Structure 1
Amino acid sequence: MTTVAFIGLGNMGLPMAKNLIAAGFTVRGHDVVDACRAVAADAGVELAGSAPEAMEGADAVITMLPKGEHVRAVYFGAAQAADGSQPSNDDGILAHATPEQMLIDSSTVDIATCQAVHDAAAAKGLHFVDAPVSGGISGAEAGSLTFMVGGADADVERARRLIEPMCGNFFATGDPTTGEAAKIVNNMMLFVAVQGLSEAATLAKKLGLDAKTFHQIASVSSGNSWALQTWYPVPGVVETAAVNNEFSASFRADLALKDIGLALAAAADHGLHLPATGLSAQRLAEAVDGGGGELDCTVVIAAVDPDAEGLPEGYVHGGARRDA
């Protein structure tokens, strides 16, 4: 039986781990959050006290972490310098991994962090792929995530068997870091689409269009998109939209801001100016600064229409929450 060490058992990691368990894998996991560990134990994950402990005897290690700084700490050790220049400490994955173990990182992080882990793994003769995902919490629960996997061809194929129970689509993207590149660009497109969707829904309302009728028209016309089909920010139109539940997050605004920031940083590295992406980032930053970081990213509709339906009571885009 294949044993997988799963590091990061939050909203995405736990359902991914559960799908591995359902496929017959043994999952030994670790998370620094007590609540996550408790829920994971109830779901059948064998808990470990640390990442190295989880790795003992495992055939593979999968990490699903929030940010690049967490990836660096977990792979290089807690005392790893921000620029990755310090050697691995004893508490890092790279200090404990063996060439027999397949290392898979499904976090969405900056290209520099991803490259640093690839380089360090290669220097130690370890096998590592970057394999970020698209599909959100619902996709993680359904086992229908899209995986974008970058690395050496043999490593990508070796990782495929481990990834398949968690995914609906598997794309080998090419060289190391190309999985992260694909994810960063894809999410950039999504959040630009969300900004356009917010503006379109507001203008349609102002022009007197029935929301459901307009949605049906756009769904079969040139304005169609995944965001339109899944996240339309008007109550009662699309069942899966966060607006139906006071913008309870399917993709948190603060994480969306992190991801779109990765795209802007990558663009700056290549001398590109992305004005639509910049506006989307500004709107997300306003939501986060106003106390809406834990709300769904579609809450940015409040920047266009402060009177949009479905907003949490007292929410003011760009300003602190206040009691109504």
Structure 2
Amino acid sequence: MRREDNPMKIAIIGLGNMGGGMAANLVKAGHEVHAFDLSEPALLKAGENGAKPYRNVRDAVADVEAVVTMLPNGKIVESVVTADVIGHAPKGALLIDCSTIDVATTRRVGEAAEAGGYPFVDAPVSGGIAAASGGTLTFMVGGTDEAFHRAEPILSAMGKAVIHAGATGAGQVAKMCNNMLLASTMIATCETFALAEKLGLDLQTFYDISSKATGQSWSMTSYCPVPGVGPQSPADNGYQGGFATALMLKDLRIAMEAAQSVDASVPMGVRSEALYAAFNDAGHGGLDFSAIIAALKDNAFGPVGA
């Protein structure tokens, strides 16, 4: 990884499956990273990776040039930013929220940050745990041109692509639409593999054909839900790691709320949310979202046409 010519002091708040890898890559790029999380093991790991652990958000942000948040939901993001970052980080520090949250909360947090003298971008990510660790995430960024240009070199240390989607909130719009599409294509991919197997077609043969035909998709060729077929994916590890079903369901619910707010017709999104909700409620929320193939094979969602 290329080291930055102008290393910065950067606080990263939230060291879960994604934030921990992101913090490590900022360190590798030469930045001084102040790390905070409620989890003691996460803090210890961040320290082992070269970050400075802090047990208080306000202390972590006290003298930094940028703050990156990677938190579970909008309520927590808004609380942390408004109570512990604004007024405690130096005025003018850049705030980068990489969490996946609803657009309304994002815009509200952005307005609060900018009113307090802090440039703000929303920069949700695509790529999953492996990409976070490997520094190959894709960032979809919402914010002013000036804030984006300040954020770009920081995000580039953690990702392979940094794309300016538009004004504040546009990054979240891009993320929710992308993940709604991903959910739908993964279900369709799982359905077709399950059907091909029941009809007696060898699954490697089906992959070899469809991956080069009009049915090709990222869900098939980069993240195949069948063990031993295609590139390495969570399917080859018992559906551990990757992108948890519970997180996919969270993103789908955000998308459904957004669709309802603008009266958009999203029948595939609605059905995908219902199927992932059922799969999650059956106790599979911790499995990668491609594990839904097992439920489809078992006709867990009802008979043909249900």
Q: TM-score, normalised by structure 2?
A: 0.93
2:269 is paired with a residue of what secondary structure?
helix
1:300-315 to 2 correspondences below 5 Å = 300-306=292-298
Query: Residue 4 of structure 2 corresponds to which residue in structure 1?
Result: none
Q: Is the 8 A contact 1:283 1:303 kept in 2?
A: no
Query: Are 1:33 and 2:25 an aligned pair?
Result: no
1:39 Cα shift? 1.4
Query: Which stretch shows the higher mean deviation, 237-246 or 9-18?
Result: 237-246
1:303 Cα shift? 2.8
Amino acid of the residue matched to residue 298 of structure 1?
S
1:257 Cα shift? 0.2
1:167 Cα shift? 1.2
1:283-302 to 2 correspondences below 5 Å = 283-302=275-294
Distance 1:248 1:122 in 2: 40
Distance 2:171 2:252 in 1: 16
2:86 is paired with a residue of what secondary structure?
helix
1:195-214 to 2 correspondences below 5 Å = 195-214=187-206
Amino acid of the residue matched to residue 210 of structure 2?
A
Query: Are 1:137 and 2:143 an aligned pair?
Result: no
Q: Is the 8 A contact 2:224 2:231 kept in 1?
A: no
Query: Residue 167 of structure 1 corresponds to which residue in structure 2?
Result: 159
Number of aligned residues: 295
Q: Is the 8 A contact 2:226 2:235 kept in 1?
A: yes
Query: Are 1:17 and 2:9 an aligned pair?
Result: no
Query: Residue 177 of structure 1 corresponds to which residue in structure 2?
Result: 169
1:34 Cα shift? 1.8
Query: Are 1:55 and 2:61 an aligned pair?
Result: yes
Q: TM-score, normalised by structure 1?
A: 0.88
Query: Any unmatched runs of 5+ in structure 1?
Result: 78-91, 308-316, 319-324
2:43 is paired with a residue of what secondary structure?
helix
2:141 is paired with a residue of what secondary structure?
strand
Distance 2:131 2:226 in 1: 22
Q: Is the 8 A contact 2:64 2:89 kept in 1?
A: no
1:70 Cα shift? 1.8
Cα RMSD (Å): 1.4
Distance 1:66 1:272 in 2: 26
1:60 Cα shift? 0.6
Q: Is the 8 A contact 2:62 2:90 kept in 1?
A: no
Query: Residue 263 of structure 2 corresponds to which residue in structure 1?
Result: 271
Query: Residue 312 of structure 1 corresponds to which residue in structure 2?
Result: none
Return the match for 1:225 from 217, 222, 234.
Answer: 217
1:38 Cα shift? 1.8
1:182 is paired with a residue of what secondary structure?
helix
Return the match for 2:82 from 62, 70, 76.
Answer: 76
Distance 1:241 1:21 in 2: 27
Distance 1:25 1:249 in 2: 27
1:154 is paired with a residue of what secondary structure?
helix
Query: Any unmatched runs of 5+ in structure 2?
Result: 1-6, 302-306
Distance 2:182 2:226 in 1: 18
Query: Are 1:257 and 2:249 an aligned pair?
Result: yes
Query: Residue 146 of structure 1 corresponds to which residue in structure 2?
Result: 138
1:240-285 superposed Cα distances (whole Å, 9 cap, x missing partner): 2222222113000000000011111110001123111111111111
Query: Residue 117 of structure 1 corresponds to which residue in structure 2?
Result: 109
Distance 1:201 1:58 in 2: 50
1:113 is paired with a residue of what secondary structure?
helix
Query: Residue 87 of structure 1 corresponds to which residue in structure 2?
Result: none
Query: Are 1:44 and 2:50 an aligned pair?
Result: yes
Amino acid of the residue matched to residue 123 of structure 2?
A
1:140 Cα shift? 1.1
Query: Are 1:104 and 2:110 an aligned pair?
Result: no
Distance 1:239 1:126 in 2: 43
1:222-244 superposed Cα distances (whole Å, 9 cap, x missing partner): 11111111222222113422222
Query: Are 1:241 and 2:233 an aligned pair?
Result: yes
Query: Residue 5 of structure 1 corresponds to which residue in structure 2?
Result: 11
The runs of 4+ residues in structure 1 deviating greater than 3 Å are none
Amino acid of the residue matched to residue 70 of structure 1?
I
Distance 1:297 1:249 in 2: 10
Return the match for 2:181 from 181, 184, 189.
Answer: 189
